[in-house]
Amino acid sequence: MDKKKIIFLTNYCPHYRLPVFEALSKQYNMHFIFTNDGSSKGWNNYGTLRYNLCLSKSALILKLLLEDWDVLITGFPSWNSLFEFIVAKLRKKQLVFWIEEWHQPQTLVRMMLTPILKFIARSCDAIVACGSAAKAHMMDYGVASEKIFTAPNASWVEAPLESELKPRTSASHNKFIILYLGRLVRCKGVDYLIKAFSKMENERDDIKLVIAGDGDFRSSLQQLSKELGIKNIEFVGACDPRERFHYYNMCDVFVLPSIWSPNHCEAWGLTLNEAMQFGKPVIATDAVGASFDLIKNGVNGFVVKNGDVGSLYQALKKLLDDPELAETMGAESKKIIEERFTYERMIKGFKDALTFVGVS
């Protein structure tokens, strides 16, 4: 094990990150700092990690200023980025940024901070990007390409053997099932999916829309479905992460219809990874970061314009009208995940960055 001490600073330890964190922890002298205990999300399983919780800014500041460490891996950009940069430079330590952002928020504060963030990004020692769009974003900031390393976002759903998976319910057995799984908040664009589905339901009755998840936009979505007179829709509520494989297994297509807002874009969209793991065709909008890497348009799914009901409807119609196409696309999805978006590939991205800054 390398004697250099690495601090990995991040907000949560979600279940889908733990395999990556544990693998890195086993290979390096790595200590994790989490700024949220994650208990409200059920993200408080830390496995075999060496870690601390720093739930206040003062505790975090003291830890970074007083503790001995050689390399800091931390998210970028954040409100702490300037402080972390200054501490690393004053203490002559290595700084590695991990970035998922691929589109700059168009808020006044962010635009004012952009020159500072560009300087920080160009001056850090290495950057780990979650995908091609995030890498391009950093290159737009003027970061040299040779110090940007890609750790493709990965998630893997533990599921029973195929022979043990639950069959579809009898009520859904003969229907083409369209699935959305995620938070029910406005920026996810589920209202556009409901409108596209309504248009399709007016033409055929062999379809069903399943919406799994919860959030403050749920009641508005339910009201919208009533106003549109939709019959074949089911809101199943919050989904236990341990049970989500049932939903992926039963659906015929997965849709992530996120939309733009001035201060938000979908950084990645790991539910796309998960649906593709189960061999499903996927549809996402151009406001989803993962769409640039996970979806080969017309090969394993479709990328449509965000906030465009017509485009979403047309993509769904192509799959409904051609079951063989849907099946072929699903097979391509599974192949893409298994070949390119594994935990091993994600781990390698971090290892390459650490090697670049002198950690072996």
Predicted local confidence at residue 262, as pLDDT: 83
How many other CB atoms sit within 10 Å of the CB of residue 12? 14
Judge whether residue 159 has pLDDT over 90: no
Predicted local confidence at residue 99, as pLDDT: 98
Residues 326-351, mean pLDDT to the nearest whole number: 98
Question: Which of 120-134, 167-181, 219-233, 311-325 bottoms out in mean pLDDT, i.e. has the lowest?
Answer: 167-181
Predicted local confidence at residue 164, as pLDDT: 52
Predicted local confidence at residue 263, as pLDDT: 82
Helix (H) or strand (E) holding 255: strand 253-256
Predicted local confidence at residue 169, as pLDDT: 45
Under the banding of pLDDT at 50, 70 and 90, the label for residue 165 is: low
Q: What percent of the chain has pLDDT over 70?
A: 96
Judge whether residue 168 has pLDDT over 90: no
| Average model confidence (pLDDT) across the chain | 94
Q: What token pair was written down for 166? A: 């639950």
Residue given tokens 């991040």 in the structure block: 10
Judge whether residue 163 has pLDDT over 50: no
Residues 117-133, mean pLDDT to the nearest whole number: 98
Domains of the chain with bracketed CATH? 5-154+342-356 (3.40.50.2000), 162-340 (3.40.50.2000)
Model pTM score: 0.93
Predicted local confidence at residue 171, as pLDDT: 45
Answer whether the bond into residue 167 is a cis peptide, omega within 30°: no
Judge whether residue 79 has pLDDT over 90: no
- By the 8 A CB rule, do 176 and 316 touch? no
Residues 131-144, mean pLDDT to the nearest whole number: 98
For residue 208, what are the β-bridge partners?
177
For residue 72, what are the β-bridge partners?
7, 95
Predicted local confidence at residue 172, as pLDDT: 52
> Tell me: the pLDDT tens digits for 1-29?
558 999 999 999 999 999 999 999 999 99
> Tell me: the pLDDT tens digits for 271-306?
999 999 999 999 999 999 999 999 999 999 999 999
Pairing of the two strands 176-181 and 71-76: unpaired
Vertex 96, ends 339 and 22: CA angle to 5°?
55
How far does Cα 180 stand from its chain's mean position?
14
Judge whether residue 200 has pLDDT over 50: yes
> Tell me: the pLDDT tens digits for 52-63?
999 999 999 999
DSSP state of 233: E
Higher-pLDDT residue of 215, 40: 215
Judge whether residue 254 has pLDDT over 80: yes
Under the banding of pLDDT at 50, 70 and 90, the label for residue 170 is: very low
